[in-house]
Structure 1
Amino acid sequence: MDFNVQADTQEISVFRKEVREWLQENMRGAEGLRWSATWSTRENEEEYQFRRKLARKLGEKGWLFPMFPVEYGGAGLTIDHQLVLETELDHYGINLAAVFYTLARIVAPVILKWGAEEQKREFLPPMLRGEVSVWQVLTEPQGGSDIATCRTKAIRNGDHYVVNGQKIMVGYHHPPDFLWTLVCTDPSGPRHENLGWLYIPGNSAGITIQPMSLMMGIKNSVFFDNVRVPAFNLVGGENNGWRVANTHLELEHGGEGRVGADPLVERVVEYCQQMRVAGTPLMEDTSIRDIIADMLIELHVVHHFARRNFWHRYVREPHPYGGAQFRYYQRMVRLRNGERLQRIMGYDALVPDLTVNEVVDFEYVVRSGPGMLHGGGTLDTDRLVFARRVGLGRPTKEKAPTTI
């Protein structure tokens, strides 16, 4: 990746001006809103509806997925255009991949790679226009991170699959329009050769969603009771789900990367400059400055890992072990930062602050650290993938799948 800072070309400069002016207009009304995080305990309906509306507006211009083909709802633009959108949105504290809660950022690339042409034309445009919310539905009670143990069955019955089973630790507090669901299409088949992916309408008869109020945020259990799903909605082929899962998991496990940086340190510095103990700002304490320096250094490393993976993804040259490396390090840094915040401010770090965006709410950082060690696969999953990619204890190295 080229880390040199270069001036925009004339074309990109014009585009940046267009994006900046468009955001100035369309971000009006957000001044008093504070953004919730991905694993949120906040339920601000006004904020959610603003973000849904913003996503639809971006989608109308093809900017929600700017590099996707125009015929599917994208804008057919280049990585330079994507970087402009990412960086300009970041000024408002929003990530293009998570304008509102939906896993379309993972599901859409998988369908683009593995879906039949008819499926792409039906499933992708609503996602790319920001019209629908999609949950990924993988984890099961008995399997945890080992999704190949999938017991949610999808048995072919004429032109439909009949789905029965349970998923856990998924979703958000608003119901989904679609459930991107890993299922077992051949219960008697060998491991890794008996899976499939169904794109299931969220309002299908037989689906029950049960909220799970957890320390790390609002998640859900999903129950499937004789849910009939058109066979057309099977993406990637019957019993071919593990190959499709490799693309999905590479994105989920850090391979997608990102551009924006974690703004936590800036808020910690501001807090320590303003908070006084015995009349002296906390920032005057050399031990606290040492802690902040450690935070700053590690978050810079996380940022560079994320940008590197973003670049490798979009130039179609996947980094062999970058996803697992980034994800493992990022999660350990978050855990350490939660501990550091408690060392700096004690019990004050455990008090929610609704006046700031949730990602820089100290209580959220402390609370979400342990939970994020498990979400989307455990630390052991990261270690295993890393070991396979660099060839530890193996005669050959496992290749990283190319994503879109």
Structure 2
Amino acid sequence: MSFAASVLPAPVVDAVAERVRGRLRDEQVDPVRQPGRAAEIADAEVRRHNDFALARGLEDIDDEAACVRDVLARVTGYGSLQPLLDDPEVEEIWINDPQTIFVARAGRSERVPLRLSADAVRDIVERMLHATGRRVDLSQPFVDASLPDGSRLHVVIPDVTRAHYAVNIRKFLAARRTLDDLVDAGALPAHIAAMLREAMADGRNVLVSGATHAGKTTLLAALIGACPPEHRVITVEETFELAVTAPDVVALQGRQPSLEGTGAVSLRRLVKEALRMRPDRLVVGEVRDAEALDLLLALNTGVPGAATIHANSADDALRRLAALPLLAGRNIDAGFVVPAIATGVDLVVHCRRSADGHRHVEEIVETTGRVDGQLVETRSVYRAGRGAERARVAS
């Protein structure tokens, strides 16, 4: 991984980048649609700089190739972050302040030797948000957005943070998009993948649980990909994150309120709208609030569903799912919710990230359809390291 862009003379790179922008405008070259021509212009301007640097008393560029990459990143990409965004091993990038930048590789974090200015961070955020239609300002100091490549951007600005923008970019990675990919990566055994594939084909309702960065979204996307091709899939998310390649799929995301405070679209509204779109499979990217009630109502009216939820275990996921609908109003109580979960949720697949960064399916439980006190009764289908487990669930 090269960080040459961080040690090149910034004033020189800025000047070259400005000349490249001028030529792109003059020649009406779109650097996104014509990357080859943009690279030729950048290379020509870097060479031109070095041709005249000595005579004009300017600093010479020693690594012309690195300068071309940096200029192209500034003109067409996201500045000095672009090499990290292009690195297929980097899963996530986060900026605590312009001088403190981390990445995650294979589930483990590491600090990178990259230094930015506060202005550079703000410029990168503005460019990222430009194509999303979302904003971040004093009235809206948080933003979640989906970048054009499917990566997820989260930004918090002062004075919610102490002094600097806090930026997280969870990258869209093309690898491990199917259950077979996850088997190859050691995330779950082949016979369990076959069981989950069969459960999706049969229209079983599946809840994927786990902590942050445990691989829930990746597994959910793989499960959706295992649906029969004739199934119509409707996905509902706060921000587009699921990478679904099904033949018949519609993806919906929520919307922030406008500057006037109007126009917001909640997950609850999206779930209700999705039910009018003839889904064979309703997918909620993450259940975290009162939309849990609408999902449960859908699952108990014959619409197969799937979702993720933050939890510490499979049984804990069911307890949390029982608590979230209570946020919908005072007329909702556990006496209604718990039986609805017992009959509406079929399987809970719990993911875990180990200390070495490896993500895997730790356990799978299925509900029995019965309630024991105020708890949904379950039985174990699979637990990692237990030995041979049955690969079919009861119908």
Give the structure-1-normalised TM-score. Answer: 0.25
Give the structure-2-normalised TM-score. Answer: 0.25
Q: Which has the larger radius of gyration?
A: 2
Q: Which structure's residues are more often strand, by fraction?
A: 2
Q: Which structure's residues are more often helix, by fraction?
A: 1
Structure possessing the higher relative contact order (Cα contacts under 8 Å, 6 or more residues apart):
1
